[in-house]
Copies of this chain bind each other. A is one copy, B any other.
Amino acid sequence: MGDDATTTPELVGRVRDFVREVVIPIEEAHLGVLHRPDLAAHDLAGGRVDDGERALRLALQDAARDAGLLAPHLPIAWGGHGLTHLGRASVFEAAGYSLFGAVALNIAAPDEGNMHLLLEAASAEQRERWLRPLATGDIHSAFAMTEPPPGAGSDPRALTTRAERVDGGWRITGDKWFITGAREAGLVIVLARTSGEPGDAGGATMFLVDGASPGIEIVRDVHTLDAGLYAGHSLVRFDGCLVPDDAVLGEVDHGFEAAQVRLAPARLTHCMRWLGLAGRAHDLALAHVAERRAFGSAIGDLGLAQQHLADNEIDLAASRALIRETARVLDAAEAGTPTGIDAGAPDPGSASSVAKTFVAEAVGRIVDRSVQLSGGQGVSDELLLSRYWREVRPFRIYDGSSETHRWSIAKRAVRQHRKGLRHDLAQ
Contacts and interface: CB of A to CB of B under 8 A. Distances in A.
A236 interface: no
Give the contact-size bracket for chain A: 35 or more
Contacts of A301: 411, 414
Contacts of A129: none
A65 to B, nearest CB: 23
A309 B42 contact: no
A340 interface: no
Given A379-B226, A380-B222, A294 B423 contact: no
Given A318-B322, A406-B307, A426 B97 contact: yes
A397 interface: yes
Interface string A291-312: 0111100101111111111111
Contact of A283 (B158, B305, B423): B423
B300 A423 contact: no
A223 B324 contact: no
A278 to B, nearest CB: 10
A419 to B, nearest CB: 11
Interface string A347-374: 0000100110110000000000001100
Interface stretch (A66-74, A106-114, A263-271, A386-394): A386-394
Q: Name which of A35, A223, A394 has the most chain B CB atoms within 10 A of its CB.
A: A223
A237 interface: no
Nearest to A300: B414
Q: Chain A binding site: helix, strand, loop or mixed by DSSP? A: helix
Given A305-B403, A309-B410, A427 B358 contact: no
Interface stretch (A146-154, A160-168, A184-192): A146-154
Interface in A368-427: 371-372, 375-376, 378-382, 386, 389-390, 393-394, 396-398, 401-403, 405-407, 409-411, 413-414, 417-418, 422-424, 426-427
A175 interface: no
Interface string A1-18: 000000000001000100
28 contacts: A16-B424, A20-B423, A40-B46, A90-B427, A153-B375, A154-B294, A222-B376, A225-B379, A283-B422, A283-B423, A287-B417, A300-B410, A301-B411, A302-B303, A307-B307, A310-B405, A310-B406, A310-B407, A314-B357, A314-B406, A314-B409, A317-B355, A318-B318, A320-B325, A321-B324, A321-B325, A372-B396, A376-B397
Interface of A: 12, 16, 20, 35, 37, 40-42, 45-46, 90, 93-94, 97, 146, 149-150, 153-155, 158, 177-178, 220-226, 233, 276, 279-280, 282-283, 286-287, 289-290, 292-295, 298, 300-314, 317-318, 320-322, 324-326, 346, 351, 354-355, 357-358, 371-372, 375-376, 378-382, 386, 389-390, 393-394, 396-398, 401-403, 405-407, 409-411, 413-414, 417-418, 422-424, 426-427
